[in-house]
Amino acid sequence: MSGARLYGRRRIVDFVDHALRRDGGPRRPLPILLLTGPRGSGGSALLAELWEEFSLRALGARLDLSAAQGVEDIVLATMQGLGRRVPGIRPIDFPRLRMAFKALSFVDDGGGRVAFEAYLRAGRRDAAVMSALYDWADRAAPLLNSPGRQLLMTAAVRALGGLLSGIRGRRDARILRWYAGNGISSGGTEYDPLWELYGWHHQQLPAAARKVGKTLCAAFLADLRSDFHDVTVVHGRRPANCLLLLDNTGGRAGELFLELLAECRRDDHRARALPDPAVIVAVQRGRVRRRTGEPVAATDERLVLPARDPAGPDDDHPTWWYPVRLTDLGERDVAEVCRSSVLGSGSRDADFLHALTGGHPAATDRLATLLAIFGRQPFDPRRLLDTPLPPAHQLPDHWAADDPGDDGDGDDEPTVEDHLLARTLGADFATAPEATADGEDDPLLDTMAVLAATPGLRPAACTATLAYLGWDAADATEARQRLAAALWLEEDPGGAASRVHPLAALLLRRRLARRPRLWRDVHEGYAVHYSRHGDTVLHQHHTLARAEPSDPTALAQVVGHLAKRFDDEDTGREEWLAVLDRITAAPTRLRTTRDPRGFVTTLAGAADPGDRERILTRLTVARWLHHDRCFDPFHRLAQLIANEYDYLAALSADDSDVLFRRSAQHRALQSLWEG
């Protein structure tokens, strides 16, 4: 059970609850609820919660489509899942699908159409000899993702014998006529549509596979409509709609399945058929490629089920898709997830974790768990990401199932940072599995680390820096597009990057920092580019990123620039502070186990209230290092920063109030963390 599973997700649960209510049955098609977010945004955990909440209230199936080979597998597994026994609810009958799967599972030994028709009429014992149904079921059943899945699969496969029953009687004749008139087949009489379906299945062409998939989706929805709208005395009224929970739908088969379901619903709506009762919730990691509209945030008050009743026969425009963005956890959510007090209190630990992860659900939950484990003994939170993972027996049971790659068999124990990288960016992009754990070259991840090193991932600057490094094969455009597609990069409507997700930025920055020479070369490349293009602030930003105790030249250059801007009569104090903010937001690879205030003194010299150059140097270094929460998790530099602002204000002839206000902000932060 993930501690972060439902924070900011309650509106989605309420949406599904509302959609499952029959209230006489839906009078317009229900939208497909499409949940999107970067890897680890909590989609799988949310599906598990929905299953726990509703699996005994409604018939349903929960599938993981990551291994689905085709739409046929998904439909067959869905039918198996909906065959689950729920106390007090009669099972669903699937006569159309039963007939289709019997036809598709025919094994032709040379008898052709004659043998095919004989097979369709044969009883289950005789038909089993000529059928590949059980092999097919074995391939499809693992898609079921419900608790007790193995028992469910076994029972479902045995129940498939009913699909091999002979086709005969008035009911089957009506179904054959349905296949002839479904608008997908060429029509014909009796077994013609099923023979055509069988032929499409064996053509192994995309167009033919689409026809097979659409036929099965249409049959699936038609069977649901027939069953749920049958309110005879024998069957009675269904207590709730049925629920279909689909994880990992971003693959070829999963995307096609959803697309065909929506297409069939549109066709049925145009034909004025009754709406089907399926409540479909699908999780897709990364950007949705189809046109579904702009996603609504999971916390948005607008996240409600659209009105079921059309405004009128000429103004009936059902909502086919309802995309929802799985939002990051807020600060209060992280505080509830946090289970430690390593920094002195649970709220401080939560503040630290939120700064590292940006509220990413999976990363927050895992770091909260690890911080609680490490905090059983005196622990320096600055070591959190560098510390090896605890032994498996100390970790939650579901971690091993989620992370098959973390087997501990490598030469070095994986660190917390390795674990997070492998589970997020590594799972999305790594081309060499070992590259996520030991810092070896991985072209795509390394290119992304270079891109993320500059604010806004400016295309020209990124391309120029890759050329400066001599990485001729690296493609900045492709790397940026893939980051955006996986939803690790936020972009404004014009396509300009606004920011990399805080967790991705942290992991990529630390990956780059593992190789000091590469770190220096990357930031030197950016500094050269921005210098050539007259962007002095970003030039100084990347110059500061190269500052180290062993080489004072980079820091001296930045301080010289800030001093010149401070003396410029055309630069107001507010503008100067904005420049200082942008420059000191530079990333750092520096680490220390000492008090960070002593480290600032080592790098920038001791405090001297009368020396403006020393004040600017200490202020620059302290602001820069304070920006990295891994360097200063306790905000111990806040007092030093406030002092330097006061010293600078005392030496300023005008606009000193602006500097004193900045000082007051940092003193408030100091008081908060010392109280």
* Integer Cα distance of 318 and 269 in angstroms: 9
Nearest to 258 by CA among 304, 214, 204: 214
Q: What is the pTM of this model?
A: 0.88
What gap in Å lies between CA 42 and CA 417, rounded to an integer?
20
- C-alpha angle with apex 176: 171 to 182, nearest 5 degrees? 120
DSSP 241: -
Strands (E), 574-672: none
Q: Give the three-class secondary structure for 598.
A: helix
Asked if the structure places residue 197 within a domain, the reply is no
With residue 33 as reference, give the H or E element that holds it: strand 32-37
- What whole-number distance in Å separates Cα of residue 309 and Cα of residue 102? 38
- pLDDT attached to residue 380: 97
374 versus 140: the higher-pLDDT residue is 374
Identity of the highest mean pLDDT range in 66-70, 311-315, 536-540: 536-540
Ranking 101-110, 234-243, 575-584 by mean pLDDT, the lowest is 234-243
CA 12 – CA 5 distance, rounded (Å)? 12
Q: What is the model's pLDDT at position 311?
A: 40
Sequence length of the chain is 675
Mean pLDDT for 506-535 is 97
| Separation of alpha carbons 670 and 638, rounded Å | 5
User: Is 413's pLDDT higher than 90?
Assistant: no
Q: Is the pLDDT of residue 236 over 70?
A: no
Burial zone of 571 (CB within 10 Å; 0-12 exposed, 13-18 middle, 19+ buried): middle
Four-point Cα dihedral 188, 193, 198, 201, nearest 10: 110
360 inside domain: no
CA dist 445 and 428 (Å) reads 10
DSSP 462-510: HHHHHHHHT-TT--HHHHHHHHHHTTSEEE-TTS-EEEE-HHHHHHHHH
Q: How confident is the model at residue 204 (pLDDT cuts 50, 70, 90)?
A: confident
CATH number, residue 237: 3.40.50.300
What residues pair up with 240 in beta bridges, in sequence order? 21
- Predicted pLDDT of residue 109: 83
Read off the pLDDT of each residue in 206-222 and give the average, rounded to a whole number: 96
Written as six digits, the tokens of 68 are 């689905």
Given 325, 359, 380, the domain boundary residue is 325
- Name the residue with higher pLDDT: 137 or 568: 568
Q: Are 584 and 577 in contact (CB under 8 A)?
A: no
Question: Strands 489-491 and 497-500, how do they pair?
Answer: antiparallel
pLDDT at site 397: 82
Dihedral sign (CA 182, 185, 187, 189): negative
pLDDT digits (tens, 9 = 90+) for 92-138: 889 999 889 888 888 888 889 998 888 888 765 545 545 556 666 66
| pLDDT reported for residue 444 | 94
The letter for the amino acid at 70 is G
Which of 228, 215, 214, 306 has its CA nearest to residue 274? 228
Q: Is residue 245 assigned to a domain?
A: yes
How many CB atoms are closer than 10 A to CB 302? Answer: 7
- Count of domains in the chain? 2
The per-residue pLDDT for 615 is 98
Distance between CA 18 and CA 266 in Å, rounded? 22
3-state secondary structure of 320: coil
49, part of any domain? yes
Q: What is the pLDDT of residue 435?
A: 43
pLDDT at 110: 84
Residue 465 lies in a domain: no
Q: 531: which 2 tokens?
A: 């210098």
Q: Would you state the pLDDT for residue 406?
A: 47
Q: Which of 324, 330, 361 is nearest to 40 (CA)?
A: 361
pLDDT of residue 370: 97
In a domain, 261, yes or no: yes
Judge whether 483 lies within some domain: no
Question: In the structure, what pLDDT confidence band is assigned to residue 610 with cuts at 50, 70 and 90?
Answer: very high
How many other C-beta atoms lie within 10 A of the C-beta of residue 515? 16
> 300, 325, 350: which is the final residue of a domain?
325
Residue-number span of the structural domain to which 319 is assigned: 10-91+133-149+203-325
Residue that is last in its domain, among 269, 304, 325: 325
Domain annotation covers residue 490: no
Please, which pLDDT band fits residue 197 given cuts at 50, 70 and 90? very high
